Amino acid sequence: GSDIRITLHAGEPGASVPATRDLIEQSFGARCFDHTGMTELGPTGVSCDARDGVHLIESEFIFEIRDDAGTVHPLPETGTIGGELVATNLGRWGSPLIRYRTGDRVVVTRAPCRCGSPFAKMLGGIRGRVDDMFTVRGVNLYPSQVEDLVRRHPVIGEFCIEVRSVRGMEEVTILCECQRDDGEAAVSELANDLRLALGARIECRQVAAGSLPRSDLKSRRLRRV
């Protein structure tokens, strides 16, 4: 067996996307944890054994939430709150950042965690980037939600979410590269999964292998055309 017991992942939401996390763990034969942070701020959170979110490192930051109207709220003492994560770091004396807008959309809870951490938790990790949200028939969606469903279909490899604005509405197509001859069936099943899980009808289309763009750094699977 492998000597690797734990892998820690940053820069992408995959370690908090259940289906992607499963693929990582199967590949390494090790448990996978998510680690959030930014170059400007430093490390902001890490997941735990509960595997349902990422704990914010409140000993090093003051975290707040900015709602869609632009109002900034403190984290609640009970219950949950959602919006854009705002952070003030407490330990970087040379370059402190005050109420820094991270651009990450999150849902934060104060519900007790079975791991025993006293810190608030981002449920499901980072849900998406504020500028990555797209809307299908009034339903707000993020690339990570699509990725979780795509990764349940081993036949589908690379994918891209293509968003077009048509008469003031967003039309969305999921472009899929497939690794076997039965790709058409997998793409059809994905469209049905998206409808059932997200409540939105999204067109899914198979494209030629190798035709979708790749990135050497962070993946950008949302493309506005």
CATH number at residue 109: 3.40.50.12780
Question: Which candidate, 70, 190, 83, places its Cα nearest to that of 140?
Answer: 83
The total domain count for the chain is 2
Question: Which pTM was predicted?
Answer: 0.79
Does one domain contain both 68 and 11? Answer: yes
Domain boundary among 104, 130, 156: 130
Q: Is the pLDDT of residue 139 over 90?
A: no
Last residue of a domain, one of 79, 109, 130: 130
Residue 219 has pLDDT above 80, yes or no: no
The answer to whether residues 125 and 164 belong to one domain is no
Do 74 and 88 belong together in one domain? yes
Q: What is the pLDDT of residue 63?
A: 98
Instruction: Based on the fold, state whether residues 105 and 46 are members of the same structural domain.
Output: yes
Q: Is the pLDDT of residue 1 over 70?
A: no
Local structure of 132: helix, strand or coil: helix
**Does residue 22 belong to any structural domain of this protein?**
yes
Q: What is the mean pLDDT of residues 83-105?
A: 93
Residue 89 located in a structural domain:
yes
Q: Which of 122, 127, 121, 157 is nearest to 141 (CA)?
A: 127
Determine the Cα–Cα distance for residues 102 and 129; give it in Å rounded to an integer. Answer: 9
pLDDT surpassing 90 at residue 137: no
The answer, yes or no, to whether residue 210 has pLDDT greater than 80, is: yes
Are residue 153 and residue 219 in the same domain, yes or no?
yes
Pair 169, 208 in one domain: yes
What are the pLDDT digits (tens) for 37-87?
A: 999 999 999 999 999 999 999 999 999 999 989 999 999 999 999 999 999
Q: Does residue 1 belong to any structural domain of this protein?
A: no
> What CATH number corresponds to the domain at position 208?
3.30.300.30
- Do strands 169-178 and 203-207 pair parallel, antiparallel, or not at all (unpaired)? parallel
The gap from C-alpha 136 to its chain's centroid, in whole angstroms, comes to 18
CB neighbours of residue 218 within 10 Å: 7
Last residue of a domain, one of 92, 108, 130: 130
Q: Pick the range with the lowest mean pLDDT from 4-18, 62-76, 125-139, 188-202.
A: 125-139
**pLDDT (mean) for 100-114:** 96
Q: What phi and psi values does residue 19 have, to the nearest 5 degrees?
A: -70, -35
Q: Are residues 110 and 139 in the same domain?
A: no
pLDDT above 90 (res 141): no
* Residue 169 near residue 138, CB atoms below 8 Å: no
Average pLDDT on 82-108 reads: 94
- Residue 21 pLDDT: 95
Q: Are residues 144 and 203 in the same domain?
A: yes
Q: What is the CA radius of gyration of the chain?
A: 19
Residues 184 and 219 in one domain: yes
- Do 19 and 108 reside in the same domain of the chain? yes
pLDDT reported for residue 115: 97
Query: According to the per-residue pLDDT averaged within each range, which of 90-104, 111-125, 170-184, 195-209 is highest?
Result: 111-125
Q: How far apart, in whole angstroms, are the C-alpha atoms of residue 36 and residue 186?
A: 32
The span from the CA of 100 to the CA of 6, in Å, is 31
Average pLDDT, the chain: 92
Same domain, 18 and 78: yes
- Kindly state the average pLDDT of the residues 146-169: 90
Task: Tell me whether strands 169-178 and 80-89 are parallel, antiparallel or unpaired.
Answer: unpaired
Kindly state whether residues 24 and 126 are assigned to the same domain.
yes
Mean pLDDT on 160-185: 89
Task: Determine, yes or no, domain membership for 73.
Answer: yes
Where are the alpha helices (H) located in the chain, listed in sequence order?
Answer: 18-28, 143-150, 183-198
Q: Supply the range of the domain harboring residue 167.
A: 133-224
What's the rounded mean pLDDT across residues 132-147?
Answer: 86
Q: Which residue type sits at 202?
A: I
